[in-house]
Amino acid sequence: MKLADKVYKVARKIPKGKVTTYDSIAKYLKTRAYRAVGQIMKRNPYAPKVPCHRVIKSDGSISGFSGFDPKNIKKKIALLIKEGVIVKNGKVSTEFIVRVQDFI
């Protein structure tokens, strides 16, 4: 069982209208590989099943899948907003950030 599998398993349970962070997932899995989590999400072979857009940085900013393509940023943010998440200045309001242990 690779870390990747565990990550996907957890990530797919993120409730709509909420987001979590890379380090939160890492902590929950008893590992400090929060960086690896990022790469795992990037690969994301389970595209629709794992809502990788609901995983953000600990400071609430959205990165990666959107960070490289400015056009994609707005699209993902719009998607999150559509789900009920409030995003201002490219950052998600902390009240929508949930620790993994809270929604599992």
Partner DNA sequence: CGCTTGACACCGT
Partner DNA sequence: AACGGTGCCAAGC
Query: Would you please indicate which residues are annotated as catalytic (active-site) residues?
Result: 52
Binding to DNA, residues 13-52 (CB under 7 A): 21-23, 31-44, 52
Q: Is 96 in the site for DNA (CB under 7 A)?
A: no
Q: Which 8-state DSSP code applies to residue 50?
A: S
User: How far is the C-alpha of 11 from the C-alpha of 40, rounded, in Å?
Assistant: 11
Half-sphere exposure for 65 (CA within 13 Å, toward CB)? 19
Query: Per-residue contact track with DNA, 56 to 75, x per CB under 7 A?
Result: -xxx---xxx-x--------
Cα 69 versus chain centre, distance: 17
Which stretches of the chain bind DNA, using CB under 7 A?
2-4, 21-23, 31-44, 52-53, 55, 57-59, 63-65, 67
